[in-house]
Structure 1
Amino acid sequence: MKIPRLLTHLSTGWLIRSSFLFLLCWLANGFAGSVWAQGKLEDYKRSVALKETLRNKVYNAPNNVYWTPAQKLWYLVRTARGLEFVVVDPRKKTRQPAFDQEQLAKKLSEATGKKIDPFNLPFTSITYGKDDEELEFAAEGSTWQVSTGAFAFRKKGVFQAEPADRGYWGNSRSERDGKPVFSPDSSQTAFIKNDNLYIRSEKTKQETQLSYDGSEGDYYSSYIQWSPDGKKLVTNKVRPNAKRLIHFVRSSPDDQLQPKLETREYLKPGDALPVRRPQLFWVETQKQISVDDALFNQQFSLSRLEWRKDSRAFTFEYNQRGHQIYRILDVNATTGVVKPLIEERSNTFIDYSGKRARHDVNDGQEIVWASERDGWNHLYLIDGVTGKVKKQITKGEWVIRNLVHVDDKNRTILFAASGRNADQDPYFVHYYKVNFDGSGLTALTTENANHTATFSPDFSYFVDSYSRVDLPPVTVLRNSADGSVALELEKADISVWQKAGWKEPEVFSAKGRDGKTDIWGIIIRPTNFDPNKKYPVIENIYAGPHGSFVPKSFMSNYVSMHELAELGFIVVQIDGMGTSNRSKAFQDVCWKNLKDAGFPDRILWLKAAAQKYNHLDLNKVGIFGTSAGGQSATAALLFHPEFYKAAVSSCGCHDNRMDKMWWNEQWMGYPIGPQYDECSNVTNAHKLQGNLLLLVGEVDDNVDPASTYQLANALIKANKNFELVTLPGLGHTAGGDFGERKRRDFFVKSLLGVDPPNWNEIEKQVAGSRN
């Protein structure tokens, strides 16, 4: 009889704190003799050394660009001597230091009594004044002001940081918390009293009740909107739902000895939702106008309730539960008649959370709208009165990725798209300009790379940073009219990476399950790669339908896959069918079928790669992922045990009925049906054949940690062997430093058949060397 091996680690402190840092340095400096091996201490040493060598060693590649009120731009860039602030004037075509960093460091040192490194200043953000002649920054507990012309420096005041906690994502907005709302001319105030709508004259303070049918269980929302002419009001009448709560114990709180019980709001698939019904009132006659809810009575949500500027109507968006109908509805402010301006229907799902884009032109006379109605995500021009399509603005086997800007006056659109360049990776983002009628389509970026643009406030210029996983970033300033380069800003320097032996990822594509569609991914090899040796393969998986996930830009912030490869593996990442940013049919594979996760495509891709490169050992394939990737990693062992032999699953959504409503109902459908059971790792736990490691944060409020525990319970009942690591105090996580080590050790043991280093013994020796 097999006995499940449950590894529950109660503390990660010794690893994460200073002893871990000391250990890394000690390993990097050498501990064992140098021999070629896989999964040996020598490989761990090389992995650690690679991480330390590559960290912050990509130079001249700014991550973010910021525009000033005067249409200049600034950015922070790492150079060989440190961090430098740069300011660019697009009209003068100049690039120069934002200020004298050495002089500022000297002044700041004198003011604070602390030694300040001019190229490691204690701040990373600056704010320009209206004329760009002065800038401010916060450092050492104070705010400071610098005049950039004739250098002047002064302390402005005490710095007060904004609260870091922005609230929990699952908290529902209380419809009762809105403040009284003034009319456009401030002569009256609208407010809620005793669950009903009232107005009050600001001159006489007389209150007038407009509604009478509000109650505790069916009340008027305090989020009230006046029409622009001040003659009408609209707010929702709300029938609240019963809130689902999840509970977990924080075993090791920082502020007390005893554990804490914590609770979160957390709606799950199938739960009841609040019902909102817009209510229209005429203020002068105190009359309520009936609004028929026939077109929005099966709601998942109502959103974006807005008045037309001429007060003729208000509009809102209706997302029907099940996500197969989406409407923009127009309510006539005189009659209360509701009509659909736009209606989207799908036999599978409407990707409302990832592809929705709308711009109302000239107070809604026309609407620029994104839709997949022809099988690809494109822009349409809709008549804002009749709702008819006036023009399909973009068309073809490529997709709109982002609606950047619509110029109503000149009737032009700036947008991002991918897949239009047949000779390039179909996921590469490029930027375009087009007229409302579809004419004049102009590519503003053309280089064979993935582009990220940051436009000026007036959209006349944009900074374009482009790169590939095998091409270091190039940053240029472009003219938005035609994409011409106005100024070259930066070209990344990766010489330190190259000297360290870093091997660039290989972009690889192969046909998917239909024999026609290209599936794209990357292959990562260790620095000591030997083409004559065999390497187990580890796949990094995330197959959420809401996006595509294989890196397309230079991976300066994604070094961990290279570190894993150093232990003696080939590491891959693939976007299979069921993910986004290709055709609607490509994404629809996920519909009521999240267990698919693109595995038929992934397996074919890996077989094609192994046919080309015989150093890939497909008899030893591992897989790891977090969240939806954690679900897929476990699913690989349950549904494809003939191919995948080992998996590490972090904070997985192992049963879609246990996870958050909005994400799971969108792809798995509503009402809850047998497909949820069919896709459940818990239901299918008895199918486990390979080696499985589960990691879970004990206070994960993104994916209910009970999902992992229920899988563990099912595995135990099925008499399956597996490992479980609980991470005290951590939320939704891949595991942190401790989890990363457990993941690497697990693959070394499972795929290489090598016992990983005895870290406790090594820590003991490290401690001894300190004394």
Structure 2
Amino acid sequence: MRSTIGMSRLYGALVCGLLAASSAGSAMAEGRTLTAQDYAQAERFMMYNTAPLVDHAVGTVHWLDGAHFWYVDHDAGGDHYMQMDATNGAASPLLDQAKLAAALSKAGDSAIKADKLGITDYRVAADGRDDIEVHGKHYLCNLKDAGECTLVKAGKEPGVLSPDRKQEAFIRNWNMWVRDVATGKETQLTTNGVENFGYATDNAGWKHTDNAILEWSPDSKQIATFQQDQRKTGDMYLVETKDGHPALQAWKYPFAGDKDVTMIERVIIDVPAHKVVRLKMPADQHRSSLCDDVSCGEDGGWDDVKWAPDSKTLAFVSTSRDHKHETFRIADVKTGEVRTVFHEDVPTYYESGNDMVNWRYLPAANEAIWFSERNNWGNLYLYDLANGQLKHAITTGDGNVTQVLKVDDKTRTVWFRGVGRTSGVNPYYQQFWKVSLDGGQPVLLTPEPADHEITLSDDGKYFVDSYSTTTTPPVTVLRDANDGHTVTTVAKADITRLLAAGWQPPEPFTVKARDGKTDLYGLMFKPTHFDPQKKYPIVDYIYPGPQTGSVMSFGFLPSHYDNQSLAELGFVVVAIDGMGTPWRSKSFHDAWYGKMGDNTLPDQVTAIKQLGQRYPWIDLDRVGIWGHSGGGDATADAMFSYPDFFKVGWSESGNHDNRVYEDDWAEKWQGLLTVNKDGSTNYDNQANQLIAKNLKGKLMLVHGSLDDNVPPYNTLLVVDALIKANKDFDMLFLPNQHHGYASDTPYVTRRRWDYFVHNLAGDTPPTEYALKPWPWR
């Protein structure tokens, strides 16, 4: 199911750490007795403890204009907000942090500290003031003289700013409104929105927010959005636990196989005229060419919709319910006329890239860039918009284009990130390239064999490149986007303090997949007090895909979830990206399409066996497995499908039967639901409750009672089957928690450690060790 890693990678991923309570009457383990000091040693390697010890690891940079960008440089003294002039490499403070902290405190944010401001957006406003976003609050600050900040009052509804930043569009009572940023004046744009048939509404079932899904035109005068029809869509119900009468939560949540699912009717809204132009075409599926929502990116927006620079036409892609049929269309925004340009049909599912929709609309040349895996790899193709015919391939050969970052139609240049395109380099390492729209050999701009994070300037002249590997910390440089030469070094990460704390990197490894030929890549975490003369139980951290894998990153991270912490308690922990996960070839990704009960488990088993043969200190008689969400599903599946191999499993918030999960994700990877004459279905091969009777080992099932992503009924189906099969198991339900466990996460993590220590290692955990509350802000 969709991972909320969904949700940004460091702290969002920490939510996956959960726990288990062993059943009453469980025998006390025989073995060593761990102390609170042992758990404290493990806790030292949690992200909230390791990340602050990495100095000068520049993360995301933000371009202010074509020649200047700002970034955060952290060291033992805190966070330092810096800006750099790309023309000469000169760095200077972005602002006076002490003055800003004082001004923000006066404005009401007393939690602000000068060495940890938490700025998420910064720019210079038209009047010269600093336009700053801090922890979701928007301020205009004058830092001259004494310094003062004014909180920009926002409406209760979240808005989407126009390109000129003068208006923001939002939803109220199912209709579209705009708010003047300067005056706060609000204007209603539509009047016929009604309950469950509203404008721009954000509801994918698993996600339901008050955000508006739309795309402003470049001239800030029009809005492309939709009227979303979910009047026939089925409801989801959850009940909040509290004193007195429980509170019912209900919203629209379509299931795989439902006759009626959510549909969208595409519209263009002329903002000055308050006029709605409905595109002249049938309603479209609520689908995306990339993910299981119409809005895939972290910044919102509508990924499969792209305006012409002159704001006169709109290109968009329609995706069929089963994700097998894509249609590229162009609309005249004044008349609503729609022209179909070309199609792509695939036997399994279509995706338009990795992490980013990679097709582009180039109306000046009457062309479009199209992403396709038609040759088993993700490449770019150039189409003629006049006749819908393919002109030629822009990129060819093995390896994937993962993200198209910029297209300059004047120089006919495309800049893109890609993987697997350089022989001998880890196929998961992202590198940066440029290529001509007219084809030819792409130019590699980042030659280092490492994973490259790229931030390109708006004008395409420069890019900031932060590159690292699992074992080497990042180096951040400013490069020329024409040939990739280094203009200057921005920062070099220093892990001296991290190493002094006893940190060690995970060990990369390769093994063969189930077919005995394909290389699989993984990471191994061993205790810092590792003794090769001992035998260690092994724990497999799993996320099976299909939209992501078990390995958090093949670039540098001070912590990968809590894998090192768990290893510290006496385990070898592994994360393996098996077949069926992305970033490799199309055939690799398709390995178990339509057979989601596979869950990459044949690869996990064969990989662990190979590691056991390779390393005598791995005890193949003591194999555990755990995961969250899709990993929770895979964990239970492992305990039922390989009951003699996996002895202990910790299953969190699993989508154990995708007929009880939202339609888009399930129907993309498993196909449309079909029922056979005997009542069996093509979804039976992925339903954990149908094989729960096979359980032999120790299994903990964990779920939040208000999980609005993967409904808790998924776990209850498995619970019911286990009871009917007279199987012992453990269960932890978290009252009022969602798909991520929020404030319960430390407790759940500790309980999970306890579960493996007690049941897999045969040791005794300390009593009720308290992990520190996690720093959510």
TM > 0.5: yes
Distance 1:605 1:235, change over 3 A: closer
Q: Distance in 2 between matches of 1:67 and 1:460?
A: 12
Counterpart in the other structure of 2:592: 590
Structure 2 CA distance for aligned equivalents of residues 712 and 60 of structure 1: 48
> In 2, distance between residues paired with 1:534 and 1:91?
57
Instruction: Give the aligned partner of residue 717 of structure 2.
Output: 710
1:108-123 pair list within 5 angstroms: 118=114, 120-123=115-118
For residue 145 of structure 2, what is the aligned residue in structure 1? 152
CA distance in 1, matches of 2:49, 2:504: 14
- Compare relative contact order (CA 8 Å, sep 6+) and give the higher one, 1 or 2: 2
Which one of the candidate residues 74, 84, 92 is aligned to 1:88? 84
Helix, strand or coil at the partner of 2:682: helix
The superposition leaves residues 8-66 of structure 1 with CA deviations (integer Å, 9 ceiling, x where unpaired) of xxxxxxxxxxxxxxxxxxxxxxxxxxxx9585555323213444753511111122211
* Contact persistence 1:650–1:733 (CA under 8 A): no
User: 2:109 & 2:757 partners in 1: Cα distance?
Assistant: 51
257-266 vs 611-620, which moves further: 257-266
2:746 aligned partner: 737
Q: Are the structure 2 counterparts of residues 263 and 385 from structure 1 closer, same or farther at C-alpha, using a change threshold of 3 Å? A: same
- 1:459–1:480 contact (8 Å) kept in structure 2: yes
Cross-structure match for 2:254:
267
Shift of 1:607: 2.0
Q: Which residue of 2 aligns with 1:756?
A: 765
Question: Partner residue of 2:455?
Answer: 454
Quote the offset at 1:396 in angstroms: 1.5
Corresponding residue number in structure 1 for 2:43: 48
Note closer, same or farther for the CA distance 1:693–1:162 as it changes in structure 2 (3 Å cut): farther
CA contact (8 A) 1:357 1:369 kept: yes
Aligned pair 1:689/2:689, yes or no? no
| 1:639-658 to 2 correspondences below 5 Å | 639-658=641-660
What's the secondary structure of 1:369's corresponding residue? Answer: strand
Evaluate the alpha carbon distance shift between residue 344 and residue 638 of structure 1 in structure 2; reply closer, same or farther with a 3 A threshold.
Answer: same
CA contact (8 A) 1:356 1:371 kept: no
Q: What's the RMSD between the two structures over aligned residues?
A: 4.3
The equivalent residue for 1:29 is: none
Cα–Cα, structure 1 residues 530 and 223, in superposed 2: closer, same or farther, change >3 Å? closer
CA contact (8 A) 1:401 1:417 kept: yes
Please tell me the residue identity of whatever aligns with 1:414.
W
* Corresponding residue SS for 1:152: coil
Q: Matches of 2:366 and 2:138 in 1, distance apart?
A: 50
What's the counterpart of residue 211 of structure 1? none
SS in 2 for 1:657: helix
For residues 368-407 of structure 1, what are the alpha-carbon distances to aligned partners after superposition, in whole Å with 9 as ceiling and x for unaligned? 0101111111100011111111111111120111111111
Match of 2:423 in 1: 422
Return the alpha-carbon distance in structure 1 between the equivalents of residues 155 and 224 of structure 2: 34
Q: Secondary structure at the match of 1:469?
A: coil
One of 623, 626, 631 as aligned partner of 1:621:
623
Contact 1:241 1:273 in 2 (8 A): no
Deviation at 1:754, TM superposition (A): 1.9
Contact 1:87 1:95 in 2 (8 A): yes
| Alignment of structure 1 residues 271-282 onto 2, 5 Å | 271=258, 272-274=260-262
How many angstroms does 1:685 deviate by?
1.2
Aligned match of 2:569 in 562, 567, 570?
Answer: 567
For the residues of structure 1 that align with 2:728 and 2:450, how far apart are their CA atoms?
45
- Report the alpha carbon displacement of residue 362 of structure 1 after superposing the two structures with TM: 2.5
Change (3 A) 1:381 1:728: same
Contact 1:39 1:568 in 2 (8 A): no
Partner SS state of residue 56, structure 1: helix
SS in 1 for 2:752: helix
Alignment correspondent of 2:240: 250
Query: 2 CA distance for matches of 1:659 and 1:115?
Result: 39
Deviations 1:241-262, CA, capped at 9 Å, x for gaps: 512111122114xxx6653221
**Rounded Cα–Cα distance in structure 2 between residues aligned with 1:494 and 1:425:** 23
Alpha-carbon distance, 1:316 to partner: 4.1
- Match of 2:479, SS? strand
Q: 1:250 to 1:353 in 2, by over 3 A?
A: farther
The superposition leaves residues 463-509 of structure 1 with CA deviations (integer Å, 9 ceiling, x where unpaired) of 11111111111111111111111110111111122122222111101
Contact 2:119 2:134 in 1 (8 A): no
Identity over aligned pairs, percent: 32
Pair 1:597–1:753, CA change in 2 (3 A): same
Matches within 5 A, 1:500-515: 500-515=501-516
Mapped contact 2:266–2:278 kept (Cα < 8 A): no
Change (3 A) 1:581 1:307: closer
For residues 226 and 751 of structure 1, the distance between their equivalents in structure 2, rounded to whole angstroms, comes to 55
Q: Secondary structure at the match of 2:689?
A: coil
In the other structure, the counterpart of 1:724 is 731
Report Cα offsets for 1:741-768 as digits up to 9, x if no partner: 1111111111111232222xx78xx9xx
- 1:332 and 1:100 map into 2 onto residues whose CA distance is 48
User: In 2 relative to 1, CA 299–561 (structure 1 residues): closer, same or farther, beyond 3 Å?
Assistant: closer
SS in 1 for 2:570: coil
> 1:38/1:640 Cα in 2 relative to 1: closer, same or farther (>3 Å)?
farther
- For 1:229-628, what aligned pairs fall within 5 Å after superposition? 241-252=231-242, 258-271=245-258, 272-274=260-262, 316-330=316-330, 340-351=340-351, 354=354, 356-363=357-364, 365-550=366-551, 551-558=553-560, 560-628=562-630
Contact 1:105 1:121 in 2 (8 A): no
Aligned residue pairs total: 673
Higher-Rg member (1/2):
1
Letter in 1 for 2:148: K
CA contact (8 A) 1:631 1:654 kept: yes
Q: Within 1, Cα distance between the matches of 2:461 and 2:370? A: 23
Alpha-carbon displacement from aligned partner over 1:323-358 (angstroms, at most 9, x marks no partner): 221111357999999764222112222235856421
Structure-2 residue corresponding to 1:177 = 175
TM, length-normalised to structure 2: 0.77
Match of 2:67 in 1: 71
Asked if the contact 2:357–2:403 (Cα under 8 Å) also holds between the matched residues in 1, the reply is: no
Structure 1 unmatched ranges of 5 or more:
1-35, 181-188, 196-221, 281-287, 767-771
**Which secondary structure state, in structure 2, belongs to the residue aligned with residue 472 of structure 1?**
coil
Cα separation, partners in 2 of 1:478 and 1:332, compared to 1, 3 Å? closer
Task: Please say if residues 145 and 153 of structure 1, whose CA atoms lie closer than 8 Å, have aligned partners that are also in contact.
Answer: no
Task: Provide the C-alpha distance between the structure 2 equivalents of 1:251 and 1:372, rounded to a whole number of angstroms.
Answer: 47
Q: Where does the alignment leave 5 or more consecutive residues of structure 2 unmatched?
A: 1-30, 161-169, 179-187, 195-211, 269-276, 289-293, 295-301, 676-680, 773-777
Taking the aligned partners of 2:279 and 2:50, their CA distance within structure 1 comes to 65
SS at match of 2:759: helix
Instruction: Please state if 1:678 is matched with 2:685.
Output: yes
Tell me the SS of whatever aligns to 2:669. Answer: helix
Label 1:478 to 1:193 Cα distance change in 2 as closer, same or farther (>3 A).
Answer: closer
Contact 2:705–2:734, Cα closer than 8 Å, also in 1: yes
* Letter matched to residue 561 of structure 1: N
Contact in 2 for aligned 1:279/1:289 (Cα 8 Å) = yes
Report the counterpart of residue 638 of structure 2 in structure 1: 636
1:769 aligned partner: none
Q: Distance in 1 between matches of 2:238 and 2:216?
A: 43
- Is the 2:628–2:654 contact (alpha carbons within 8 Å) kept by the matching residues of 1? yes
Hey, what's the Cα distance between the residues in 2 that align with 1:441 and 1:429? 15
Q: What CA distance in whole angstroms lies between the structure 2 residues aligned with 1:382 and 1:703?
A: 39
